[in-house]
A and B are shown apart, each in its own frame.
Chain A
Amino acid sequence: MPGITREEVAHLARLARLELKAEELDHFAGQLDDIIGAVARVSEVADQDVPPTSHPLPLTNVMRPDEVRPSLTPQQALACAPAQEQQRFKVPQILGEE
């Protein structure tokens, strides 16, 4: 039976940059375990002849021609940026990531 441990939830939270308190970890680990358990039951029903579904629509090859369309103005692009400088998005130091 698949499940998820508290440690795995903590790891995922870190990867998603979510700060979770100890009690939140307990809480979400339990909830996520229930969800994964529910989804796992689908696997029990689906036999070998049912391929995993990633897309509900039977479409392939939806493409567009290589033609330029208007972009946003830089003012529009930066409108919701918490900080900007020199027409660029300003972000806190990235040290520790690289």
Chain B
Amino acid sequence: MTVTELVSYEDALATYDPVMGLEVHVELGTKTKMFCGCATALGAEPNTQTCPTCLGLPGSLPVVNATGVESAIKIGLALNCEIAEWCRFARKNYFYPDMPKNFQTSQYDEPIAFNGYLDVDVDGEVFRVEIERAHMEEDTGKSTHVGGATGRIHGAQHSLLDYNRAGIPLIEIVTKPIVGAGEKAPEVAKAYVTELRELIKSLGVSEARMEMGQMRCDVNLSLRPQGTEKFGTRSETKNVNSLRSVERAVRFEVQRHAAVLNDGGTIIQETRHFHEEDGSTTSGRVKEEAEDYRYFPEPDLVPVAPARTWVEELRGGLPELPRVRRNRLREEWGLSRHEMQSVLNAGAIDLITATMDEGAPADQARKWWMGELARRANEDGVELAELSITPAQVARVCALVKEGSLNDKLARQTIEGVLAGEGDPDEVVTKRGLKVVSDEGALGTAVDEAIAANAAIADKIRGGKVAAAGALVGAVMKATRGQADAARVRELILEKLGVEG
């Protein structure tokens, strides 16, 4: 295969219009697998969560997990889908060691949910992504390739299989072709997966942690010449497993397709692998050969026919959906769309609301999570929610600032202590001796000393140059190692010098 020089993204967009299709797999957070009672706990020893059903042993029979179906319906409803009155499972037949049954139990032409949409925010504008379907299926086992250079399948001598994951419920959510995104295609793709992840989390059906493989995205992309209708041939980039990667994969494929087409070449319909290191994709298997799955209705499972009363009950129980909630909070907090986007991207919405529930005002809660704490999370390369500080502790710091026991500098040190595992804010304040010096006597002495040591400045202030008081405040703060209330210090200085503030 010849290596094609990529076309710049701008040049590609000048000639071609991208069309995308996104397939997202969500692993449900059920306690058991989709068709058997095996546990789904993460991190279990290999092959300790299997049974005759999920190993595909002769004579075993599957039974559907009711919570799996319920979760699928909730996801469908939240995506504004119609819910099937009656639908079946189907066997997708293929021989591959990650599926011991030699078929995956999935749904084919009768998905449980179909014809929906999800509105996403892109640069302050609403973009509607249409949903083709959401269907129920099961996850595969986990392969470890042995003997290859980098644990990859190529060059491997043999592979080792752990079937703990085989049979864990998956919901596959497929969009209709996404047209009209134009140059914003990479942002739209990222915004869609972000919004979908928020939605799934808000429903409580999965933690949807992409880094844990609980949510995985396949990116279909094709280009058509600007001004034409007919879709081009698509490529399918598999397992794009972070929000940033989704954006990069779309961008790369736009540039690669454009390069091939510009050279007079044709795009091959194939699956491609995404490479996290450089954001590129490489060729996988050719698609039409692999797609001969010989689907047929699963004879071992009876149809699922969700009663309309059940569906309506589930619809009534849906939580406020993330985008609606975000718009409400944005207004309540008085933020711009851009600011709210930052809060969302930082994963701080729930942390801020939880901090407010503990009594902190919105602006203070946001200030700490989006400032000091976001900086720390970034430095440590962890999610904000993973920091070892709770919303209640942040709220306590806010309260200590409000009552005047801490100033901003001391509050930062207190937070540092909490993060370092020194205990609750009050303990850190005590242990580190961080209380603001509010003892008027001690403060008065410090002010007197500062005035005596800076006679010239004191004279200026007496002469009416109130602004010069800042220098004396600085001196007092220094003498008290930052533990004084600066506003009170200023008051005392002006009072002692007989000047009106």
B38 partner, pick from A15, A57, A69, A93, beta carbons under 8 A? A69
Contact call A54/B297, Cβ cutoff below 8 A: yes
- Report the bound CA distance from A67 to B304 in whole Å: 20
A63 partner, pick from B46, B65, B147, beta carbons under 8 A? B65
CB of B375 within 8 Å of the partner chain: no
In chain A, residues 54-69, which have Cβ atoms closer than 8 Å to a Cβ of chain B? 54-55, 57, 59-69
Contact call A71/B48, Cβ cutoff below 8 A: yes
In chain B, residues 132-180, which have Cβ atoms closer than 8 Å to a Cβ of chain A? 143-147, 153-163
Interface size counted on chain A using CB atoms at 8 A? 37
A-side binding surface: helix, strand, loop or mixed?
loop
CB of B95 within 8 Å of the partner chain: yes
CB of B242 within 8 Å of the partner chain: no
Contact call B32/A66, Cβ cutoff below 8 A: yes
In chain B, residues 435-484, which have Cβ atoms closer than 8 Å to a Cβ of chain A? none
- Report the bound CA distance from A59 to B51 in whole Å: 25
In chain B, residues 18-48, which have Cβ atoms closer than 8 Å to a Cβ of chain A? 30-32, 36-39, 45-48
Closest A residue, CB atoms, query B63 = A64
- Report the bound CA distance from A91 to B96 in whole Å: 10
In chain A, residues 27-49, which have Cβ atoms closer than 8 Å to a Cβ of chain B? none
List A contacts of B144 (CB < 8 A). Answer: 88
List A contacts of B311 (CB < 8 A). Answer: none
Contact call B51/A54, Cβ cutoff below 8 A: no
Contact call B69/A63, Cβ cutoff below 8 A: yes
- Report the bound CA distance from A49 to B430 in whole Å: 83
Report B319-333 CB contacts with A as 1/0, cut-off 8 Å: 000000000000000
- Report the bound CA distance from A88 to B50 in whole Å: 12
List B contacts of A91 (CB < 8 A). Answer: 97, 158-161
List A contacts of B30 (CB < 8 A). Answer: 66
- Report the bound CA distance from A89 to B304 in whole Å: 34
B66 partner, pick from A64, A78, A86, A90, beta carbons under 8 A? A64
A74 partner, pick from B37, B47, B145, B284, beta carbons under 8 A? B47
B-side binding surface: helix, strand, loop or mixed?
loop
Closest A residue, CB atoms, query B68 = A66
Contact call B158/A90, Cβ cutoff below 8 A: yes
Contact call B86/A94, Cβ cutoff below 8 A: no
List A contacts of B163 (CB < 8 A). Answer: 77, 89
List A contacts of B156 (CB < 8 A). Answer: 93-95
- Report the bound CA distance from A91 to B153 in whole Å: 12
CB of B210 within 8 Å of the partner chain: no
CB of B55 within 8 Å of the partner chain: yes
List B contacts of A78 (CB < 8 A). Answer: 47
Closest A residue, CB atoms, query B38 = A71
List A contacts of B97 (CB < 8 A). Answer: 89, 91, 94
Closest A residue, CB atoms, query B35 = A64
List B contacts of A89 (CB < 8 A). Answer: 47, 97, 100, 160-161, 163
Contact call A15/B294, Cβ cutoff below 8 A: yes
In chain B, residues 170-210, which have Cβ atoms closer than 8 Å to a Cβ of chain A? none
Report B271-309 CB contacts with A as 1/0, cut-off 8 Å: 000000000000011000000101001010111111000
Contact call A97/B96, Cβ cutoff below 8 A: yes
List B contacts of A85 (CB < 8 A). Answer: 146, 160
CB of A21 within 8 Å of the partner chain: no
B88 partner, pick from A54, A66, A92, beta carbons under 8 A? A54
Contact call A68/B302, Cβ cutoff below 8 A: no
List A contacts of B50 (CB < 8 A). Answer: 71-72, 77
Contact call B161/A88, Cβ cutoff below 8 A: yes
When A94-B96, A95-B153 are in contact, do A68 and B32 touch as well, CB less than 8 Å? yes
List B contacts of A87 (CB < 8 A). Answer: 45-47, 162
List A contacts of B80 (CB < 8 A). Answer: none
- Report the bound CA distance from A57 to B144 in whole Å: 42
Q: For the complex of A and B, list the 4 residue pairs with the smallest distance between their C-beta atoms, beginning with the closest.
A: A69-B37, A66-B67, A88-B160, A54-B297
**Interchain residue pairs with CB less than 8 A apart (22):** A11-B292, A15-B292, A15-B294, A55-B302, A60-B303, A62-B64, A63-B63, A66-B30, A66-B32, A66-B65, A68-B31, A69-B37, A72-B51, A77-B163, A86-B160, A87-B162, A89-B97, A89-B160, A89-B161, A91-B160, A93-B157, A93-B159
